[in-house]
Amino acid sequence: MNEGFVGTEMTTGTSAIGKLAWLGLIVLVILFGLCTVFASVTTVAQAWEEHAQAQWPEVTAHVDKCSLVQNSAGPKKFYIRCRLGYAVGTEQNATNVYSLLAYPSANGPFAEWVDEHPQGTPILVRYDPANHAKVVLVAPLMPGGGPRTPSNIKLLQVCVGSFLVLVIIALITRPRSPQSSGYSPMPLNT
């Protein structure tokens, strides 16, 4: 009686939109899968580097000069640049260490750190035994400094969680063929 109401046009249009939405979902699954792989590789590499640096020998360095510097490109941001001098055995070394960038509204802790570290202030560092000019701060850390692995692990958890949720949604909403959904093109009453 109402054969024209549910015709091929409505089914085809709805089906095309559903398939397009599902393909978009698959693109998101692939994107979050790649993000998860990238976050995993980055987290492992960063953790390995931080583990290796934790094994480096410690030495007390002294501040030659610390200053708050404005970056030269892009939006107005600041960072700390410190020149440190230290001795490894009889070898005298000097190196620069830098902080992360901060916007002017957030540079209060950066300015305080610079003020608290005038020339001659001792700072504990670890130096690379293979390259004495490469150091990492032990204490006191600059604002925003320190190990990155905990933050990387949080990012990795978000990526993995999002990826798994998207995979589950894709599996639940995947298009099915008429045969697998129990639909038969043959009329039941013949």
Domain ranges of the chain: 55-149
Amino acid of residue 77: K
Distance CA 137, CA 55 (A): 13
User: Is pLDDT of 146 > 60?
Assistant: yes
Question: How far is the CA of 2 from the CAs of 5, 7, 8, 91, 115, in angstroms?
Answer: 6, 9, 13, 94, 83
pLDDT digits (tens, 9 = 90+) for 173-187: 887 765 555 555 566
For the residues of 121-152, what is the DSSP string, one character each?
-EEEEEEETTEEEEEEEEESPPTT-S--HHHH
Average pLDDT of the residues in 161-184:
79
pLDDT digits (tens, 9 = 90+) for 66-91: 998 888 887 888 889 999 999 999 99
Selected residue with higher pLDDT from 190 and 63: 63
Q: Which residues of 29-61 are buried (b: 16+ CB within 10 A; e: fewer)?
A: beebbebbeebeeebeebbeeeeebeebeebeb
Q: Determine which of 2-16, 128-142, 154-168 has the lowest per-residue pLDDT on average.
A: 2-16
Mean pLDDT, the chain, integer:
84
pLDDT digits (tens, 9 = 90+) for 97-106: 988 888 877 7
Selected residue with higher pLDDT from 106 and 154: 154
